[in-house]
Amino acid sequence: MSQNPEQDALDALPVASEDPPKKRSLQLVWIIPLVAALIGGWLAVKSVLERGPVITITLLSAEGLEAGKTKIKYKDVDIGVVSHVALSPDRKHVVATADMARDTDSMLLKDTRFWVVKPRIGVGGVSGLGTLLSGAYIGMDIGKSTEERRNFAGLDLPPVVTGELPGRQFTLYTTDIGSLGVGSPVYFRRIQVGQVTAFQLDADGRSVTLRVFINSPYEKYVTSSSRFWQASGLDVSIDANGVKLQTESLAAILAGGIAFQDASDLPAGQPAKENTSFRLAADKVQAMKTPDTDTRTFLMYFTESLRGLSVGAPLDFRGIVIGEVKSIDLEYDPKGRKLLFPVEVAIYPHRLQARYRRPQDQKLADSSEEHQRKLLDAMVEHGFRGQLRTGNLLTGQLYIALDFFPTLPKTTIDWRQEPHVLPTTPGSFGELQNSAASILKKIDKIPFDEISRELRVAIRDLNRAINSSDKLIRRLDGEVAPEAAATLAQARRTLDTAQGTLAQDAPLQQDLRGTLREVGRAAESLRNLTDYLERNPEALLRGKEKDQ
């Protein structure tokens, strides 16, 4: 036995031995999670590979938009969905983030447009009624640019014309659009062939630029000689044929419209190209007027009131408009110490130029400035003057009439003065005013106070005479009337007696007839005697011979 019992106790304890490592085998329970992980990874990779581009659309409002539900459609085909809607950093707009389909990269171009489709009522009619049940969605119009983009500014209103619509776009310039707006119709021979797509005020603020789209196949009727005019409202004209009322359609009356056609005095032009510019006239008359390229400016001085004369008023020569008023001003004449009213007018000489039909007379149609001055000098020498006349008695509008007044003193045009001054003569209205003023002065000289005093005296005397006449009438009624009645009764009895005497069966009538017969026989005997004495005048001495 060992002397160290503790050591002996430790030695008696069993010693642990290490077993050799065993091979581990895959358990069946781990196969299912592994397969699920592989499938999830494959789906994740596929989702990443099939995911389309992400775009942002900036809008004014998020009305009708809902993240995860609002679709983006092109031709009613779902090509994306709005995934997030948030405010812009400046809090003035709404930014909608949308996940697009995989094959839409070629559709997201620089000029691609987006807008919210919802029920709307506008000039072009009612749109978006289908969204009442399905909800609003974002519409899309693919652009034609080659540059791609991912951030877009949404339109406030749906575009009137989309990119796939066939036709052509043109530009119109005008000073006032009137009642025109986006969607206003465009007419050709009263057939709606297009619409207004946009308009904007020019940088100088003096004109407006409109964009119109003409649908195919009507774009071929817009030629280089086409004229455009506003067809809004009603066009009322009064001429020798009566009152004429014209309009393009009921829609043009309510929402405005534009009409166009080729000018009748120009040859047929070629079809206009895309984005060709035209002038938009206020009405058809102005649109169809021949443009006046040659213009002469003159001054006309008037001393009478110009109330009713406006800029644009016609310059009329015996029914032919040869110019118009350009400006109206005021000028003081220190020599005569009076106010003058200079009116600047534009005259178009070619409207006064004679058109000779015979070839041998064409040489007389000289349009040189020297010839025009000689012609105008000869006309002024024969009394050619400008005169203000009333063009409308209801509105009081004035126009300047050019005519010949041979009795006026002769004058000439000073061609050294710029602008040249055409002589004038007072108008008939001014002469009427002068005559009225002269009559009023004469009326003022009439002594109305004396006449009124004499008139009061005459009325008083007349009143006395009337009273006297009234007394006389009452006296005649009381005294003379009974006697007059008795006299009339006696006269009636006398007439009755005379009527009885003159009756056909009255004794007097019978005696008168017998007497007349006797007188007739006596006259017959006297006539026989006269005839006998005429044949035998000696019977007055010898007597009537005895019958043999």
**Per the domain annotation, does 391 fall within a domain?**
yes
pLDDT of 242 reads 47
Structure tokens at 372: 């025009």
Statement to judge: residues 300 and 392 lie in one domain: yes
Residue span of the structural domain in which 75 resides: 50-153
Domain boundary among 408, 426, 444: 426
Q: Determine what percent of the chain is predicted with pLDDT higher than 70.
A: 75
Least confident of 122-136, 430-444, 530-544: 122-136
Rounded Cα gap, residues 312 and 205, in angstroms: 21
- Answer yes or no: do 308 and 392 share one domain: yes
- Same domain for 128 and 176, yes or no, is no
> Residue 99 in 3-state DSSP?
strand
323 in any annotated domain: yes
Contact 231, 189 (CB under 8 A): no
Together in a domain, 265 and 183: yes
pLDDT score of 112 more than 60: yes
The model's confidence at residue 10, banded by pLDDT at 50, 70 and 90, is low
Q: Which has more pLDDT, 344 or 29?
A: 344
More confident: 153 or 10: 153
Please compute the mean of the pLDDT values over residues 132-152 and round it to a whole number. 83
Cis peptide before 217 (omega within 30 of 0): yes
Domain shared by 341 and 249, yes or no: no
Whether 73 and 180 map to the same domain: the answer is: no
303 and 276 in one domain? no
Note whether 70 and 136 are within 8 A (CB): yes
How far is it, in rounded angstroms, from Cα 94 to Cα 59?
5
Highest-confidence segment of 161-175, 346-360, 473-487: 161-175
The model's pLDDT over 511-544, given as tens digits with 9 standing for 90+, comes to 777 788 888 888 888 788 787 777 777 766 666 6
Which pLDDT band, with edges at 50, 70 and 90, does 129 fall under? low
C-alpha dihedral sign at 479, 481, 484, 490: negative
Question: Do 182 and 112 lie in a common domain?
Answer: no
User: By CB neighbour count within 10 A (0-12 exposed, 13-18 middle, 19+ buried), where does 80 fall?
Assistant: buried
Backbone angles phi, psi at 2, to 5 degrees: -70, 150
Domain count, the chain: 3
Residue 268 lies in a domain: yes
Q: Quick one: pLDDT at residue 16?
A: 60
If you average pLDDT over residues 355-384, what whole number do you get? Answer: 69
pLDDT for the residue 240: 40
Query: Mean pLDDT, the chain, as a whole number?
Result: 78
**Is residue 172 within 8 Å of 258, Cβ to Cβ?**
yes
pTM higher than the cut 0.75: no
Asked if pLDDT for residue 17 goes beyond 70, the answer is no
Q: What is the pLDDT of residues 197-211, one digit of tens each?
A: 888 888 888 889 999
Q: Distance (Å, rounded) from C-alpha 59 to C-alpha 545?
A: 157
pLDDT at 451: 81
The burial of 48, by beta-carbon neighbours within 10 Å (0-12 exposed, 13-18 middle, 19 or more buried), is given as exposed
| Pair 314, 220 in one domain | no
Is 390 a member of any domain?
A: yes
Greatest mean pLDDT range, 20-29, 55-64, 264-273: 55-64
